[in-house]
Chains A and B, each alone.
Chain A
Amino acid sequence: MRVISKSLNILDYALSLLVRQKLKNLGVFIVFTAVIFLLASFQLFSTALKESAARILTTVPHITVQKMSAGRQIPYNVDYDELLRGIFGIATVKERVWGYYFDEKNGANYTVVGLDQHHISPRLAEVLSWGGLPQRRGDVVIAEPVQESMQLGSRERFSLFRPDLTMKSFKVVGRFSRGSSLVTDDILLMTRQDAADLFAMDQSFITDLLVDVANPTEIDTIAAKISARLPGARVITQNQIHKTYNVVFSWRSGFGSICLLTSLFAFIILSWDKASGMSPEERREMAILKVTGWQTSDIMWLRFCESSVIAFTAFVGGYSLAWLHIVFFDGVLLRPVLLGWSVIRPSFQLAPPFVLHDFLLIAAFSIIPYMVATIVPAWKSAMVRPDSVM
């Protein structure tokens, strides 16, 4: 009981010491909180992005087949009945025309997706904030950010330029809701014939063949078979797209984290320096404590308590702020870094899951180095000779 009581007494004294030296400690606390806030924000943001990507990519076809020439994707004409004959396990096949349209007036790039009406998934209707899906030639569904970029207001009709600068008009029949997904914010969904017309492609040509497989465990096998039958084709599986997203987000967050770890390292050096440089007043106080019966170990415990209080409160504060930043402010400070610099950035609600591993990782990279950095200064302050007050 005495040991617990002694530890509590020293902890109590450490708290009073922190309050008495609030100016010195506040500086360290603020910088430490800011570093943890940024580090945790990066971590939470990238985790939320990966989660979001994983969720959205479940709507992506199992296999996408594209034709390549000279290392570039080109439109092609394929008889897919012939191509896929004898490959068992295929559930559906869709032809798609897909490409980018650069809107010179507004300086924005839109993603044009053209599908046959009967191939447009009814599930897409669930993410519409208004209207329905394209039913006939000339219909288009756009994302809300595209509507804003084009400054359409309440207008339902607009025109885009074909490559020969003739105009092609569209009627907006539906809108994707903002925040519905990563992949719809710059999208124009229309019929395959309209998309081919817009890009001045032959109506029988497509850019991708989308294949869904009945048994997802056979995706790789079927992809390999398609690849063998269509030399020069790029066959992309859902898993590969998922991995690509992960690599991109991990690379960006990794780059950011390395920059922040450098700041953390600089902060640790600063803490070391600050903790090492005891003022004459502090030195005198430590000597008074020793002469009144405090052991060297008591002073070390006192210093440990001080460092722990700073480290844990800064960690809890920084992590909580990071959580608020990501969940309630959509990670506004990190969006440009982690989402890229496109004109129309994807907008969606970030909901980072609580991952114990990530939480502990940040704790390990912040609290432990700080505690280690303050151990030697603590030991030095505990070694003050008690007779130095005489």
Chain B
Amino acid sequence: MQIELNSVNKYYNRGQHNEVYALKNISFSVQEGEIVCIRGPSGSGKSTLLSIIGCLYPPTSGTAIICGRQIARLPDHFLTRHRRENIGFIFQRFNLIESLTVLENITLPLLPLGVPPAERTVRARKVMEELQIGHREKFRVNGISGGEMQRVAIGRALINNPRLLLADEPTAHLDPQLRSSFMDAMADLKKSGKTIVITSHDIQVTGHPKVDRCFTMEDGTMTAGDGI
């Protein structure tokens, strides 16, 4: 199992007058090499769930085993380390740093690992070659097309060769052609053994033939889906 959540709860401002439940009693698992979709309306808890799977913060209660490690009680330092060794993120609107070049954006996760510049460039070029954006290496990302930005975001997520790829509403601001190309790219990654979790309410994503399972969330709970 790449992901195994049992009775996971997450609430903010615990014990205060503004206490908010974000996730209630979530249990589900994802196997290696699967593409899983989590759908649901805004505020349903999709992003919170993805943040816990992505080790951005631990759950308030319950157990969460991500890439073979129980993260519920890991301090922030180890969460970060576990994240950068095993997980790649793709965000809504890609969250690239516009003033940096394509190469610099892709190599960002390698800087705190102490990878020397020459090795960073070699690794990034390999990824860029696979994603067919090598010709844009020295371009600033605010000067490339939406499709290329999408591939830069995927390249940044893949540079550490993660086992788990998480995508948060990756197609929310893309035209149909780019949505399709994004899912094609995910399908290629699935072939190489990556586990992929995508949050989306885009039918083109949730209904894609390469998606193995789909879960539905509503008001912090999982209401429907295979394997619940």
**Within 8 Å of chain A (Cβ to Cβ): is B77?**
yes
User: What is the minimal beta-carbon distance from A11 to any residue of chain B, in angstroms?
Assistant: 10
Scan residues 91-125 of chain B and give those whose CB is less than 8 A from a CB of chain A.
91-92, 95-97, 99-100, 104, 108-117
Contact sample, A vs B, 7 pairs, CB 8 Å cutoff: A9-B117, A16-B104, A292-B84, A292-B109, A293-B113, A385-B56, A387-B57
Known: A20-B99, A387-B47, A389-B95. A295 touches B77 (CB 8 A): yes
Number of A-B contacts (CB under 8 A): 84
User: What is the minimal beta-carbon distance from B161 to any residue of chain A, in angstroms?
Assistant: 13
B114 contacts A295, C-beta separation under 8 Å: no
Which B residues are CB-close (under 8 A) to A12?
111, 117
Which B residues are CB-close (under 8 A) to A6?
111-114
A292 contacts B89, C-beta separation under 8 Å: yes
**Within 8 Å of chain A (Cβ to Cβ): is B137?**
no
**Within 8 Å of chain A (Cβ to Cβ): is B168?**
yes
A295 contacts B80, C-beta separation under 8 Å: yes
A2 contacts B89, C-beta separation under 8 Å: no
CA distance A16 to B100 in the complex (A): 9
**Within 8 Å of chain A (Cβ to Cβ): is B133?**
no
Which A residues are CB-close (under 8 A) to B56?
291, 385-387, 390
A1-31 CB mask vs B (1 if < 8 Å, else 0) is 1111110011011001000100000000000
A10 contacts B57, C-beta separation under 8 Å: no
User: What is the minimal beta-carbon distance from A366 to any residue of chain B, in angstroms?
Assistant: 30
Stretch at the interface among A74-82, A281-289, A354-362: A281-289
CA distance A100 to B110 in the complex (A): 77
B114 contacts A2, C-beta separation under 8 Å: yes
B151-186 CB mask vs A (1 if < 8 Å, else 0) is 000001000100000001000000000000000000
**Within 8 Å of chain A (Cβ to Cβ): is B27?**
no
Tally A residues with Cβ within 8 Å of B.
Answer: 30
**Within 8 Å of chain A (Cβ to Cβ): is B129?**
no
Which of B50, B77, B115 is close to A390, meaning CB atoms less than 8 Å apart?
B50
**Within 8 Å of chain B (Cβ to Cβ): is A298?**
yes
**Within 8 Å of chain A (Cβ to Cβ): is B51?**
yes
**Within 8 Å of chain A (Cβ to Cβ): is B76?**
yes
Which B residues are CB-close (under 8 A) to A10?
111-112
User: What is the minimal beta-carbon distance from B49 to any residue of chain A, in angstroms?
Assistant: 11
**Within 8 Å of chain B (Cβ to Cβ): is A290?**
yes
B25-57 CB mask vs A (1 if < 8 Å, else 0) is 000000000000000000000010011001011
Q: Which residue of A lies closest to B77 (CB)?
A: A295
Known: A284-B95, A390-B92. A293 touches B114 (CB 8 A): no
Which of A5, A290, A293, A389 is close to B91, meaning CB atoms less than 8 Å apart?
A389
Which B residues are CB-close (under 8 A) to A5?
114-116
Which B residues are CB-close (under 8 A) to A365?
none
Which B residues are CB-close (under 8 A) to A289?
108
**Within 8 Å of chain A (Cβ to Cβ): is B210?**
no
B97 contacts A288, C-beta separation under 8 Å: yes
Which A residues are CB-close (under 8 A) to B97?
285, 288
Scan residues 216-269 of chain A and give those whose CB is less than 8 A from a CB of chain B.
none
The 10 A-B pairs of least Cβ separation, nearest first, read A293-B84, A6-B114, A2-B114, A5-B114, A9-B111, A292-B109, A387-B51, A298-B112, A387-B56, A20-B99
A272-304 CB mask vs B (1 if < 8 Å, else 0) is 000000000000110011111111111000000
